[in-house]
Structure 1
Amino acid sequence: MTDAKQFYDYHSWANKRIFNHIENLPEETAYQEVKSVFPSVSDVLLHMCRADYIWLNVLSEVAYQEIIDSVGKFESAQGDIAAIKQHASELEAQYHDFFSRQIDLEQTFSMKHPKLGTLETTYADIILHVVNHGTYHRGNVTAMLRQLGHSGVPTDYVYYLYEKSESKG
């Protein structure tokens, strides 16, 4: 079975493809209002950063209220695709630091949420949730780009596997 770290590496690869694609479109594309799940492409990407940050802190067993109190640090990136990309890059480094400190991603840990209660789960399950969440929202970005008259960029897992395979050969 593929390990959770490889799925996270796919997540990072796919996010970079999205950011690079958007950088090659007219600058206003990231900020144009779209009738969709989020008002703009940059808003989706900022949401993804916030979520990745929250889940990294959950994996690091930071207390719920401390996470909620600190997530506001992303507000200054609102409407600034370069700042959002920088946050994504910093988060990737922080996730890799987390991976370097974990011996067993199948290890069970306990998550506490004030409304949902306590969940016994594994680090790998939460990492897969992060990847799945990102995949969902990259789909939102593609749909929004198409609404704005632009193509999307392929970010399916199989494209990652092909690229990874080519780099070995």
Structure 2
Amino acid sequence: MTDAKQFYDYHSWANKRILNHIEHLPEGTAYQEVKSVFPSVSDVLLHMCRADYIWLNVLSGVDYQEIIDGTGKFESAHGNMTAIKQHASELELQYHHFFSRQTDLEQTFSMQHPKLGTLESTYADTILHVVNHGTYHRGNVTAMLRQLGHSGVPTDYMYFLYEKRESKG
């Protein structure tokens, strides 16, 4: 079985591919309004950063209200792809720091939610949730880019594995 850290590395790789692809599209593409799940590509990407931040803090045992209060730091990145890319980069470093501290990803931990209650989960299952959430929204981004007349960029897990194989050879 592939470990959760490799799946996170895939998540990070795929996000970078999307962000780099958008940089090569006509200026302003990320901010164009689209009739979709989110009003613009940049809004999807900011949502993904917020979610990654929330789950990293859940994994780290931070109190729910403190996590919610901390999401306010993302508001200044609204409509600013440079800031969104910076947040994504910082989050990747923070996740890697988490992985260096938490070596047993199959360990169970408890998370508290004011409405949903307590949930026992493993670190690995929670990380897989982060990856799955990102995959879903990268699909949104691809659909939105196509609506705007642009191609997407391949971010399937198998492309990650092929690229990883090539970098070893």
Q: TM-score, normalised by structure 2?
A: 0.99
1:48 maps to which residue? 48
The sequence identity of aligned pairs, in percent, is 88
Show CA shifts across 1:95-148 (max 9, x none).
000000012000000001011110000000000000000000000000000000
In 2, the alpha carbon distance for the partners of 1:86 and 1:27 equals 18
1:151 maps to which residue? 151
Q: Secondary structure at 1:27's aligned position in 2?
A: coil
The amino acid of 1:22's aligned partner reads: I
**Per-residue deviation, 1:33:** 0.1
- Aligned 1:112-151 pairs, distance under 5 A: 112-151=112-151
**Per-residue deviation, 1:153:** 0.1
The amino acid of 1:44's aligned partner reads: V
The amino acid of 1:148's aligned partner reads: L
The amino acid of 1:109's aligned partner reads: F
User: How large is the RMSD of aligned CA atoms in angstroms?
Assistant: 0.4
1:160 maps to which residue? 160
Q: Secondary structure at 2:131's aligned position in 1?
A: helix
The amino acid of 2:70's aligned partner reads: S
1:94 maps to which residue? 94
Matched residue count: 169
Unaligned runs of 5+ in 1: none
Runs of 4+ aligned residues of structure 1 deviating over 3 Å after TM superposition are none
Show CA shifts across 1:63-90 (max 9, x none).
0000011110000000000100000000
Unaligned runs of 5+ in 2: none
Q: TM-score, normalised by structure 1?
A: 0.99
